[in-house]
């Protein structure tokens, strides 16, 4: 990756009913989920921060038990990506901070 990494960590990306294990990277312009080897979904997911409409904290479910370890990223076209991460509030803060520093956002 040629870009500087602002934050990185292990993360699962919900893909249908499967949680795809991998690593999550935040750069100044993108959020990238890089799946671990031997996963159902093997392709990298890249979300351009300029396309992000909302970032929110969600609970993932373990049966009927809510687990406070999720974030949901929704793009302007309505696509949703749900991740299982550690320190979710920190992830949300840093993603929002990077969105605020984008050239088109800073000009407003």
Considering Cα of 63, then 69, then 75, then 81, what sign does the dihedral take? Answer: negative
d(CA 91, CA 108): 24
Tens digit of each residue's pLDDT, the chain (108 residues): 578 999 999 999 997 788 889 999 999 999 999 998 876 667 899 999 999 999 999 998 888 999 999 999 999 999 999 999 999 999 999 999 999 999 876 554
Closest of 31, 34, 35, 25 to residue 47, by C-alpha:
31
Task: Count the neighbouring beta carbons within 10 Å of the beta carbon of residue 68.
Answer: 10
User: Where are the domains positioned within the chain?
Assistant: 5-106
Quote the pLDDT of residue 40: 63
Q: Any idea which architecture 5-106 has in CATH? A: Roll (2.30)
């Amino acid at each position: 990756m040629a870009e500087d990494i602002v934050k990185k960590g292990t993360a699962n990306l919900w893909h249908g009913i499967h949680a795809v294990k991998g690593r999550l990277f935040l750069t100044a312009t993108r959020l990238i989920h890089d799946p671990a080897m031997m996963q159902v979904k093997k392709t990298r997911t890249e979300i351009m921060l300029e396309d992000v409409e909302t970032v929110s904290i969600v609970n993932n479910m373990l049966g009927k038990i809510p687990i406070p370890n999720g974030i949901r990223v929704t793009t302007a076209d309505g696509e949703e990506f749900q991740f299982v991460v550690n320190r979710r509030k920190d992830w949300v803060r840093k993603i929002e901070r990077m969105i605020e520093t984008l050239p088109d956002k800073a000009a407003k």
